[in-house]
């Protein structure tokens, strides 16, 4: 029989030649279609994890996700937990993924378990069996469409300035307050010397004259007048020409700042890197400097706005920002005014806010940016703000990492066990001013190492004893570290310095967030208490492993040092000055109950440190005398 060339065989010939094989192929194709058909509608669309819904914005094509909890409540993203910012469900401190029901879990402590995906025989059931309700985006005016997980309804997330089920209704904008008011909402104002009660009706402002009385206390700034609307009891301010805002503390014409910018009241709201400022009353702020936490907040320019201010006597205006994972802060993109004196009258500053005419001598060490208010305990540690620990040093030693503490321009204190393998000086890199792990930005400075010196009694056979080392930086252009807001030495204690038991001190580092974690993070800080030596050396804790020259510190809230924190500081503050009281050394795991962290006691080694760095004993505590500090805890 003559064979037909392969190129001349048609599909029809194939079916005739092999009918059995044809039936098998047909069944296989049919089964594939049944399995894949429900998924074909998702081709070209973004993938989403099970239990999530895609949100689409008509104008910006923004894609986001809406997540419900197991009891049908909506997750609020982003949310704050432990000072960090999260944009999805997390499983930290829980056996099951969860989310916050408000934007600030640290403050409100409200959460829910994220809904789990539905299952079917061949895997996960697609969330949409038919065309998505949001496919054509019914939301108007740039609204974001969100399909609920029950698939039978959707919500519109409206931009500022619009409201309604479809974002079809326009809010009312009050230029005197720089604020949008919702439909039906009322507010008071003083417009052209008339006290008015306004209401937002159908997107239009409707105002009527209102009966009023004079305020017993005038909260209005810059010579503004204060009135109380009798019908509502609301206090309203009438601002002089050139000022606006609820308290007449905003000057829209101010384009630059004078001196340190403490009196800047302009509208700048972007940082030097281009980031947008968070509002001073943002839900994401909790223990930062906010409208609710700063004394005389309005006198310092704070309010329900996101404009750059300088409420803490920094060197120029700044604001809080939100990075991908944390609350941060930056200086603002504002130019200084000319140095010529201005005749413009600035906001009235209360006597309590005026600096003393004879200021005390500023310590050359141990001072830091305080962009947060003090709180006794922070659960599990919280993300530190840039400049809050300016003495932190990141030591990259070959493939390993340790922390250290800047004690002078050229010297770092760290743990001796970090150098147990005797690395070459050329294999060590020191970064100062670092905030994110292995992230060198404009505020950082990188140095090589001239030499490192472990304590003469340190031995690898007893690596927890005398666990202290000094690292000398290699000069760059003839200089070591120069002081900046993000790089500054800590104060060294004297050999007789003693902080009492139960005194609260701070630890910081880039170490693991939990014992089994394998990734580093942004700089984390936590508050721990000094634990009595007798308790720490008891048999049920560490027994004889704790020796002279060590101290223990821990917290009931499980704040502890972990791998990667080695060599970092235990900083104890007295009268606003921080001292290096301990060096993170060792411990039993991370944050284990009844197992506090163990630290090298720095005062015991003060004479050795001074002898190595050639510092006289009288300057040991940087001329700041401290023997026993008992402050308000």
Q: What is 385-473's CATH topology?
A: Thrombin, subunit H (2.40.10)
Start-end ranges of CATH 2.10.10.10 in the chain?
Answer: 52-157
Cis peptide before 78 (omega within 30 of 0): yes
At 242 the three-state DSSP class reads coil
DSSP 181-235: E-TT-EEEEEETTEEEEEEEETTEEEEEE--EEE-SS----TT-EEEEETTT--E
Q: Report the CATH superfamily, name and number, of domain 172-238.
A: Laminin (2.10.25.10)
H or E element: which one contains 54? strand 52-57
Q: Which CATH class is domain 504-619?
A: mainly beta
- Residue 41 token pair: 């509608």
pLDDT digits (tens, 9 = 90+) for 503-546: 999 998 886 444 444 444 678 888 889 999 999 999 988 888 99
Q: H or E element: which one contains 105?
A: helix 105-108
The CATH class, in words, for 253-338 is mainly beta
Question: Which two three-digit tokens encode residue 44?
Answer: 């070209």
Q: Which H or E element spans position 33? A: helix 19-40
Give span(s): CATH 2.40.10.10, the chain.
Answer: 385-473, 504-619
The active-site residue out of 566, 578, 585, 620 is 566
Does residue 305 surpass a pLDDT of 50? yes
Query: Which residues in 87-193 belong to E strands, given as ranges?
Result: 98-100, 111-113, 119-120, 123-124, 144-147, 154-157, 162-163, 169-170, 172-174, 179-181, 186-191
566 given a catalytic annotation:
yes
pLDDT at residue 577 tops 70: yes
Query: For the chain, what is the mean pLDDT?
Result: 77
Cβ-count burial 257-279 (b if 16+ within 10 Å, e if not):
bbeebbbbbbbbbbbeeebebbb
CB 572 within 8 A of CB 527: no
**457 CB contacts (<8 Å, ≥6 apart)?**
465, 466
Contact 490, 578 (CB under 8 A): yes
Cα–Cα dist 8/31, whole Å: 30
Phi, psi of 370 (to 5 degrees): -110, 80
For the segment 224-271, what is each residue's pLDDT rounded down to a tens digit? 999 999 999 999 999 999 999 988 999 999 999 999 999 999 999 999
Backbone angles phi and psi of 287, in degrees to 5: -105, 20
Q: What is the number of other CB atoms lying within 10 angstroms of the CB of residue 142?
A: 16
Class of domain 52-157: mainly beta
> Is residue 165 very low, low, confident or very high in pLDDT (cuts 50, 70, 90)?
confident
- Contacts (Cβ under 8 Å, ≥6 apart) of 3: none
Q: What mean pLDDT is predicted for residues 417-427?
A: 93
Annotated catalytic residue within 106, 314, 467, 560: 467
Token pair of 158 as six digits? 């409206």
- DSSP class of residue 591 equals S
**With the CA atoms of 408, 412, 415 and 420 taken in that order, what torsion angle do they form, in degrees rounded to the nearest 10?**
-150
Cβ neighbours around 87 below 10 Å, total: 12
Question: pTM for the complete prediction?
Answer: 0.58
**Percentage, residues of the chain above pLDDT 90:** 41
Of the listed 177, 305, 369, 417, which one is catalytic? 417
Token duo for residue 36: 């894949």
The segment(s) of the chain belonging to CATH 2.10.25.10 are: 172-238
Instruction: Count CA atoms closer than 13 A to 330's CA, side-chain side.
Output: 21
Domain with CATH 2.40.20.10 in the chain: 253-338
Cα-based distances in Å from 251 to 41, 180, 255, 325, 330: 54, 19, 9, 33, 22
Residue 543 phi/psi, 5° resolution? 60, -140
The pLDDT value recorded for residue 29 is: 53
């Amino acid at each position: 029989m003559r064979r037909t060339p392969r190129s001349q065989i048609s599909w029809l010939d194939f079916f005739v030649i092999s009918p059995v094989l044809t039936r098998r192929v047909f069944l296989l194709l049919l089964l594939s279609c049944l399995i894949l058909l429900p998924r074909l509608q998702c081709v070209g669309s973004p993938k989403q994890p099970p239990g999530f819904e895609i949100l689409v914005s008509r104008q910006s094509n923004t894609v986001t996700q809406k997540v419900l909890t197991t009891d049908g409540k909506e997750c609020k993203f982003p949310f704050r937990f432990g000072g960090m910012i999260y944009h999805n469900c997390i499983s930290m401190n829980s056996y099951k993924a969860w989310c916050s029901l408000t934007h600030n879990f640290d403050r409100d402590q409200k959460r829910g378990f994220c809904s789990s995906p539905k299952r079917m025989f061949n895997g996960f059931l697609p969330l949409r069996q038919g065309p998505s309700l949001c496919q054509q985006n019914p939301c108007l005016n740039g609204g974001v469409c969100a399909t609920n997980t029950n698939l039978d309804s959707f919500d519109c997330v409206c931009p500022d300035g619009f409201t309604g089920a479809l974002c079809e209704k326009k809010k009312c904008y009050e230029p005197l307050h720089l604020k949008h008011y919702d439909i039906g909402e009322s507010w008071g104002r003083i417009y052209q010397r008339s006290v008015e009660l306004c209401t937002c009706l159908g997107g239009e402002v409707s105002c009527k004259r209102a009966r009023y009385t004079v305020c017993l206390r005038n909260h209005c700034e810059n010579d503004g007048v204060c009135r109380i609307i009798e019908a509502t009891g609301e206090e309203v301010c009438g601002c002089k020409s050139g000022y606006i805002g609820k308290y007449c503390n905003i000057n829209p014409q101010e384009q630059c700042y004078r001196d340190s910018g403490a009196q800047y009241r302009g509208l700048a709201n972007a940082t030097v890197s281009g980031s947008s400022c968070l509002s001073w009353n943002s839900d994401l702020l909790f223990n930062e400097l906010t409208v609710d936490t700063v004394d005389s907040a309005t006198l310092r320019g704070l309010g329900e706005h996101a404009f750059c201010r300088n409420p803490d006597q920094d060197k120029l205006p700044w604001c809080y920002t939100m990075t991908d994972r944390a609350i941060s802060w930056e200086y603002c993109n504002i130019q200084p005014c000319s140095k010529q004196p201005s005749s413009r009258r600035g906001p009235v500053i209360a006597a309590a806010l005026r600096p003393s005419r004879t200021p005390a001598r500023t310590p050359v060490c141990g001072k830091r940016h305080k962009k947060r208010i003090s709180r006794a305990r922070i659960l599990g540690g919280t993300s530190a703000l840039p400049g809050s620990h300016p003495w932190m040093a990141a030591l990259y030693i070959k493939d390993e990492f340790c922390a250290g503490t800047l004690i002078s321009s050229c010297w770092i204190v760290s743990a001796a066990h970090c150098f147990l393998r005797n690395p070459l000086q050329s294999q060590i890199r020191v970064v100062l001013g670092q905030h994110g792990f292995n992230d060198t930005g404009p505020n950082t400075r990188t140095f090589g190492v001239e030499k490192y010196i472990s304590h003469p009694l340190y031995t690898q056979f007893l690596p927890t004893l005398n666990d202290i080392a000094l690292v000398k930086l290699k000069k760059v252009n003839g200089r070591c570290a120069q002081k900046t807001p993000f790089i500054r030495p800590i104060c060294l204690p004297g050999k007789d310095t003693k902080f009492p038991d139960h005194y609260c001190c701070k630890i910081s580092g880039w170490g693991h967030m939990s014992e089994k974690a394998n990734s580093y993070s942004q700089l984390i800080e936590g508050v721990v208490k000094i634990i009595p030596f007798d308790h720490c050396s008891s048999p049920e804790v560490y027994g004889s492993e704790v020796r002279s020259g060590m101290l223990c510190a821990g917290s009931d809230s499980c704040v502890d040092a972990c791998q990667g924190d080695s060599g970092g500081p235990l900083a104890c503050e007295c009268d606003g000055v921080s001292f290096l009281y301990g060096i993170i050394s060792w411990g039993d795991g991370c944050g284990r109950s009844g197992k506090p962290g163990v630290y090298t006691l720095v005062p015991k080694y003060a004479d050795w440190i001074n002898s190595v760095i050639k510092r006289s004993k009288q300057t040991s505590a940087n001329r700041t005398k401290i023997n026993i500090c008992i402050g308000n805890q």
